[in-house]
Structure 1
Amino acid sequence: MDRLPALTVTALPDPGLAAAYAECRRINAHYGRSYYLATRLLPPARRPAVHALYGFARVADELVDAPGPDPAGDLRTLEGALGAALDGAPTTDPVLRALADTVARHGIDRSLFTDFLASMRMDLTVTEYATHDDLARYTHGSAGVIGLMMLPVLGTEDPAAAGPYAAKLGEAFQLTNFLRDVGEDLDRGRVYLPADHLAAFGVDRARLLRARVEGPDRAVRRAVAHFAAEARARYREATPGIALLDPVSRPCVATAARLYAAILDEIAAADHDVFTRRAVVPNRRRLAIAAPGAGRWALARLRAK
C-alpha cells in the first residue's frame, strides 16, 4: 500500500478519523502517563501515530490482563478485525481505524503485529519462564516489535542499523514493567522474572508469593536488584540508537528512556520492595526530567526549518 503523508489530526477532513485518533490519544494519556508526556516532545504531525500504536497495544493487553469469559476467542476476534482493517475494510472501532491509517501512512510491517499478538496469547497459557532465553521470546513480541513499529514514525535514515537499538529499548521498557508490576503479576498467577536467574539468589515462586504478603526478604531484594541492573544495562545498550533517529524525534525517545529508567530509581529508593508497594515517579520529578527534552526539541525544530 502506498504511504500517505504525515498528519495533523486537527487538519483531517474526515471527522470520524479525527475522532478515532482522539480516542487513541485519550487512551495514551490515561494509561501511559510517562509515554504520553514524552510524545509531547514530538512534532504534532507524528504524535497521532504513536497514540494509535499505544492504543492498540493497550486494547490487546487489557484482553489478557482483565480477561472476559473467552480471552483466547477475544484475541482471535481482535486479530481478525485487525487484518480486515489493514486490508482496507471499513471498521467502526476507533482504535483499529486509527491504527490502519497509521500503518498505511508510515508503511509499518504488518508481520510485527502478528508477533505482538503471539506474545499476548502466551499470557493466556504461560505462567512462568524457566530461562532468560525463554523470556526473550516473549519480550521480542511484547516489546521489541513495538520499538520496530515506532521506527517509521520517528524517522531514521538507516532502519537496518536503528532496528536492533529500537527493539532493545522496547525490551528495556518491558523489563522495567516486569519489576514495577511484580506484585500485580503474581496476583494474576504470572512470574516474568526467569526462574534460573531467581534460583541463583535462592528465590522461587513460593518465596515471591510470601514477599507479596510479608514484604521481601534479603534474598528477594537482591534478586530484584539484579534484574534492575539488567534493565539499566539494556537502556545503556539502546542509547546509541537514539542518534540514528530523525533529530526532531530524539528528544522524545531520550526523555521516554529517562522517564522509564527513573522507575528503577524509585525501586532502589524503596530498597527493592516491589511487592507491597508500586514504584511511581512523582510528577515533580517527571516534569524535571522532561524539561531538558523540551529545550532540545525546540532547538531541533528550529534547525529543521
Structure 2
Amino acid sequence: MADPQGIDDSQTLRRSDPDRYLSTLYAPQAVRADLTALYLFNAEIASIRDRIREPLPGEVRIQWWRDMLAGGKPAAGGYPLAEALLDAIQRHNLPLDAFDRYLEARIFDLYDDPMPSRADLEGYCGETASAVIQLAALMLEPEAAPAFASAAGHAGCAQVIAGLVRLMPLHRARGQCYVPADILAAAGASRDDIAGTGESEAARRALAAFIELGREHAARFAEAAKGMPVSLRPAFLPASLAFPYLKRAAAAGAQPLRRVVDISPLRRHWTMLRFAARGWG
C-alpha cells in the first residue's frame, strides 16, 4: 500500500510505531495493508499533541477525522491514509462508532487535565488501545474476535500503561500526569509530584503502584487469552510487549521518572515470535 508519491506505508508505520509494524509481519499478507492503515491512523491521532501548541487546533484535527469518517469516501479525497482507512472499514465491516469513541477519548491527550481515577484510566484505555486491538481482531478473524473482547480490554490497559510509563519523562516535561488521582492519593502523592521535575519518595511509590496496575492487567490479559486461535494472535502481539516493558520499568526504580526505560530490539522480536508461535497460557 503506497500513496501517490510512492511512499511505502509499511515503512512509515515502521518509523512511527515499530511495535505494531513488527506485529503486521505475523499477519496474513492479504490483511497487512488494512492493518497498516488502522495502525497509521492510530499513530496519526496519537501524535497530534506533539504537533500543536494549543489544544484547539488539535480538536479541529480530531473533528476533521470524525467528519471524514461520517461522510465517507468523497470527504477523504486527496488524503491517502483516510482513503485507505475507509477502504479497510468497508472491506471488513468495522463499526464506525468504535472510531468515534476512539477520537472522543483522544481529546484528553490535548489537555493537561489530571486523570481522575483508575476507572477513568481504564475507560480511556478501552476506547483507545483496546479498541484498536478489537478492530484488528475483526480484520483477522471476525467470527472468533468477539470471544476475546475481555482479553482485548486487559491487553489495551497493559499496553497503554506500559506506554505511559515509557513516555513519563516527556509527559512530565509538558506538565501532564496520567497516573490516576486515586492511585496518587493512596501513595501519598500529588499531581505535582508526577508532573513536576523532582523525584520524591511519594512519586516513586505512585510510579510503582502505576506499574503494578499495568502488570495486573498484563496478567489478566494472559489469562483471558488462553485458547486464542492462531489467526487472532497478530492483533494482540503489540500488547505482548507490555510484559517485558513493565518488568524492566519495575526493576528500574525511579528511573522512568527521568528517562525512557526501554528493551532491546532483539527482545522485542523474540517476545513477539514466542507469543505468535505459542500463544498465551
TM value normalised by structure 1: 0.80
- SS of the counterpart of 1:76? helix
Change (3 A) 1:47 1:17: farther
- SS of the counterpart of 2:95? coil
- 1:37 aligned to 2:22? yes
Structure 1 residues 250-289: Cα deviation after superposition (integer angstroms, max 9, x where no partner): 2x35643332321112212322421211011112322332
- SS of the counterpart of 2:255? coil
The 8 Å contact of residues 129 and 191 in structure 1, kept in 2 or not, is answered as yes
Runs of at least 5 residues in structure 1 that lack an aligned partner in the other structure: 1-8, 10-14, 298-305
Structure 1 residues 61-97: Cα deviation after superposition (integer angstroms, max 9, x where no partner): 222332256222222223222332x356552111111
- 1:256 aligned to 2:238? yes
Change (3 A) 1:243 1:100: farther
Could you say which residue in structure 2 is the equivalent of 1:175?
Answer: 161
Which letter maps to 1:268? A
Which of 292, 297, 302 is equivalent to 2:274? Answer: 292
1:141, 1:151 → 2: CA distance? Answer: 15
2:236, 2:186 → 1: CA distance? Answer: 33
Matches within 5 A, 1:189-268: 189-210=175-196, 212=197, 214=198, 216-243=199-226, 245-250=228-233, 252-253=234-235, 255-268=237-250
1:18, 1:102 → 2: CA distance? Answer: 21
1:287, 1:158 → 2: CA distance? Answer: 26
- Offset of 1:134 from its aligned partner? 2.6
Could you say which residue in structure 2 is the equivalent of 1:110?
Answer: 96
2:5, 2:28 → 1: CA distance? Answer: 17
Which letter maps to 2:219? R
- SS of the counterpart of 1:45? helix
Which of 101, 105, 123 is equivalent to 1:119? Answer: 105
The 8 Å contact of residues 146 and 167 in structure 1, kept in 2 or not, is answered as no
The 8 Å contact of residues 155 and 236 in structure 2, kept in 1 or not, is answered as no
Task: Answer with 197-206 or 268-277: which moved more.
Answer: 268-277
The 8 Å contact of residues 254 and 293 in structure 1, kept in 2 or not, is answered as no
- Offset of 1:55 from its aligned partner? 0.6
Change (3 A) 1:56 1:128: same
Change (3 A) 1:33 1:143: same
How much is the aligned-residue C-alpha RMSD, in angstroms? 2.7
Change (3 A) 1:79 1:182: same
Structure with higher Rg: it is 1
Could you say which residue in structure 1 is the equivalent of 2:67?
Answer: 80
- Offset of 1:56 from its aligned partner? 0.6
- Offset of 1:112 from its aligned partner? 0.5
Could you say which residue in structure 2 is the equivalent of 1:47?
Answer: 32
2:101, 2:61 → 1: CA distance? Answer: 17
2:244, 2:116 → 1: CA distance? Answer: 28
Structure 1 residues 123-180: Cα deviation after superposition (integer angstroms, max 9, x where no partner): 2345202221232332222222222212212315344322222122112111111211
TM value normalised by structure 2: 0.86
- 1:279 aligned to 2:266? no
- SS of the counterpart of 2:244? helix
Runs of at least 5 residues in structure 2 that lack an aligned partner in the other structure: none
1:19, 1:36 → 2: CA distance? Answer: 19
1:116, 1:229 → 2: CA distance? Answer: 25
The 8 Å contact of residues 131 and 194 in structure 1, kept in 2 or not, is answered as yes
Which letter maps to 1:38? S
1:148, 1:248 → 2: CA distance? Answer: 13
1:290, 1:207 → 2: CA distance? Answer: 35
1:67, 1:164 → 2: CA distance? Answer: 35
Could you say which residue in structure 2 is the equivalent of 1:302?
Answer: none
